[in-house]
Each structure stands twice: as C-alpha cells, then as structure tokens.
Amino acid sequence: MTTSIKETYRGLYHFSPKEKWMNDPNGMVYYKGEYHLFFQYHPYEMTMGLMHWGHAVSKDLVVWEELDIALAPDENGMIFSGSAVVDWNNTTGFFENEPGLVAIFTHHLEQKGSHPVQTQSLAYSKDNGRTWAKYEGNPVLKHDTFIDFRDPKVFWHKQTQRWVMILACGQTVCLYHSPDLKSWTFGSEFGTGIGFHGGVWECPDLFPLNVDGDPSKEKWVMLVSVGDSQDYVEGSRTQYFTGDFDGLTFIPDVDSKEIRWLDYGRDNYAGVSWSDIPAEDGRRLFIGWMSNWKYANRTPAEEFRGAMTIPREIELQSGKDGSVTLVQKPVRELENNRVPVLELTNVSLQEAEKALSTLRLESYELKTVLASGTSIAFKVRKGGRVETVVGVDADRGELYVDRTKSGLQDFHEQFSGIQTAKLQTQFQGEMIDLHIFVDRSSVEVFANHGQAVITDLIFPDGDSMGISLATDNERLLLASMSVYSLTTSDKVLE
C-alpha cells in the first residue's frame, strides 16, 4: 500500500488507514510470521457510521500493509469490535489439514422504534486472513436484556482446556466459556462496585502476566475501556485491574480497589493485546486507538481520520512497597527505524539546550536520564506561538503534557488541557528516565521505566519543528540524552 505523507497530520510511524474513518483495534492475532491488525472502519465517510473490519498486516509491528476489507455488514448488522484467535486444534471444525484463523465479533443491528440489538458472531479464514467466511450459525451468543453487549475478547485457557470470552455488558464485564467457539456458557460477572463507571464499559481484555518476569508470581490483568460522558472532562479512557482467574471467575487484588488508568493522556482508547504471540517471544503486546470519543469525530482531517498508538509491551512490576503496577514499554522493533541525530552524555543544561536548538524535526524519539527530584520541561513541535510541553514537576511528583498551545484546538472546547500522571516513588531510584515519541499529530511519553504514560494528540502546523528545554536547576547535568529521527517505509510521497 502507498499512502501520501503530504497530509499534514498523517503520522510517519503510526498506523492509519489510507482513507476515511478508523477507530478501535480489533482481531489482533499473530500467525505464520504476520501480526494482524483489524480495525473498526467506515470506508465511505470520515466519521463513525456503517462499521466494517479493516485489515492490515506487518512482519515487524512498524511497517504495515493495508489489505482489503475483511468483514462487511450483513443481515445481522454492522461489524463492531471483537477479537481473533488461531484455532490450533480445530475445535470449531472449520478447518481440515492445518489450523486457521477465527474472528469473534459483535453484530450490531439497528431497529426502527427500538434499541439496537448486539449479538456475537464468528467468521473464519483458511488463507492467512486474506478472505473470510461467516459462520452459517451466526449469531452464537445473544442476550435478552443487555443493550450494550459487545466487544468479545477470546482466548484459550490451558488449565480448563476451553475457550474463554470476556465481554462488555453495560457497566460490567461478563465471562463465558466454550469448547468450540460456537456454544457458550455463562461463567461469571465482574465490575459491580469496583472501578470507574463514568461511562459505558467497552473493549475488555484479560490475560496473565508474570510479576517482575517471575513465573512463580503470575497475576491476571483485566483491561476495561470506559466510554465518554458529559460529566467527565477527560472523556474516554482505559482502566486496569490485577487479580487471579481460575477459568471461571476473576478475583481482584486489594490494589484494584483503587481506580488505576492504563494511560493518563487523553488519546489511548479501546486498546487490547495480540493473541497467539509465540511462547519463545513471550511478550504481551498491545496497541490502542489514538483518539477520544469526546472529540474523535471532529479532529482535523484531510483524507483519513484515526490512528493507532505505537505498539507497546505490557509488563507487571512490583514496587518497593510490594504493590504491583502495570508498566508499558515501546516495542523494541521501533529501534530498527532509528536514524541517530544527537547523542549526549553528562552534559549541562546549557550544552543540551544549545544542541537541541539546532534541530528541526517533526517525527522523532527523545530519551533522557536525569537526577530524581529535578523539574524539567521539553518543548516539542515548537514554532512561533505553537509548542507542546512535556515535563516533570518535581514538587508535585508528576509527569505532564501541556497541549494548551499545541496548535489547532478550536474543533472542540475540551481538547485543550494539561494531562498529568503521578510518578510513583516506589519505582524511583536516584535517576529518572523520560522516553518521548513525537510524530506529526501525537506525543507519547513513558517515564519511570513505563510506570507513568501519557498519550496525547496534537495538531501543530507543519513548520513547528523546533525543540527546546528548560529546568529550575541551572546546574543540572543530564546523564544522557539521545534523539533519533523516525520514519517507516510504507508511506511515500505521491
């Protein structure tokens, strides 16, 4: 696929569709050397509407090839969010000589004079996801009372030797199990009296992770996205819980009694993890939709609207106080697209500022390490009156992104703002690291080894490419600072 990079806000290393509207990532699965990324797609308009599943594949999580539409609406309704798995043992009976891919998705059927009906359905592919056949027995799961009954995430539970589905059910999630992906039995429900309920629950995920990489300390992580509401200025975002899961019931840890966000920015929503990553890889890989339902239909756009975050690796780490926190790291594959621009070691503020002042970049990666307890602010995509500030406020113990002067903002009255994330002291040592990814219309910041994460959209003009820094400590020494330009080879000038 060839897409134009002449568009002002098309990211150079973030996936976006060639044209029209995209939102939630769907059906993320790894099979035969390819990462599959399906996505909510409206091929005819620049806003959400008649939803299909778009499809892209990658061999390295960086360079993506957009393929033909995978799933289109039918008599059962539009194609809403869902997941995909490899049916290694042919539990469905769809395959013969080798495994194949099965998509589990929500059919959304509009009805005149009544509320929409949401049911769960199957489709399968025998040619590595290039073409799909819908199961003739669709839908495979219905509910008589839930209006919001959607976004199935399915995985194989080894201990019970059956499929498990986690599904959004209004203000909770429901867990079902099945031997064959066709017949489903209700197991349990989770969410009453716990977590954030400012909007409808959506796009759940459930998976095991080893704390600090120790196989003897396994925990289960549940992700739940929470939709927008008029009463919540931050709009849509994703929360997480840690706990235990026996194949039937999720039991949350004490730490999960507090609301914990996956990302403290405004623009990382509906994210879920890839299925069937090989055991020898061992990573839990994640991607999210880089927007917010507060203003998603109104963001500046030319040929397309919607992009994904950079892919990330999710881990669980224990702090000095014994608490367990979810952390995120950019996938290592991004390093293959680096072009070194600047490398400094043990430099003063003045030296670092002088070096940065010579740079003009629109898409890049910046890494720095400095002493804990120091306030610092990087101004990125800077030019004229435009700038986005990424910084650490030592007095407040916070990471922040200030996009109040980041460029276009008048498309929505609640777009402008400052997002903050607490830097948890139990994860801090004598030094603190900042890892910043800047693209044409986004900033993604990872601090404290991924404990604090902020993802924000920005819309600067094309000439705002300066970088600067400031600090309250004129004697500051930066242990290191690196800048790399980033791009990918799937987008070329037309």
Catalytic residues: 24
Sign of the CA dihedral running 97, 99, 104, 109: negative
> Phi and psi for 413 in degrees, rounded to 5?
-70, -20
Which residue type is seen at 257?
K
Residues forming a β-bridge with 177: 164, 185
Q: How many CB atoms lie under 10 A from the CB of residue 291?
A: 26
Cα separation values, 66 from 130, 250, 297, 307, Å: 11, 36, 22, 13
Q: Compute the distance between CA of residue 293 and CA of residue 290 in angstroms, rounded to an integer.
A: 10
Q: Report helix, strand or coil for 216.
A: coil
DSSP 356: H
Q: Compute the distance between CA of residue 404 and CA of residue 28 in angstroms, rounded to an integer.
A: 34
Cα separation values, 21 from 7, 171, 437, Å: 15, 27, 24
Nearest to 127 by CA among 57, 195, 204: 57
Query: Which residues does 434 contact at the CB level (< 8 Å), separation at least 6?
Result: 366, 367, 368, 369, 370, 376, 378, 390, 392, 399, 445, 446, 447
Do residues 457 and 437 lie in contact, with contact meaning Cβ atoms separated by under 8 Å?
Answer: no
Residues forming a β-bridge with 190: 173
CA angle 210/215/220 to nearest 5° reads 35
Q: Compute the distance between CA of residue 236 and CA of residue 248 in angstroms, rounded to an integer.
A: 28
Do residues 281 and 292 lie in contact, with contact meaning Cβ atoms separated by under 8 Å?
Answer: no
Nearest to 204 by CA among 254, 233, 245, 170: 170
Q: Compute the distance between CA of residue 433 and CA of residue 452 in angstroms, rounded to an integer.
A: 11
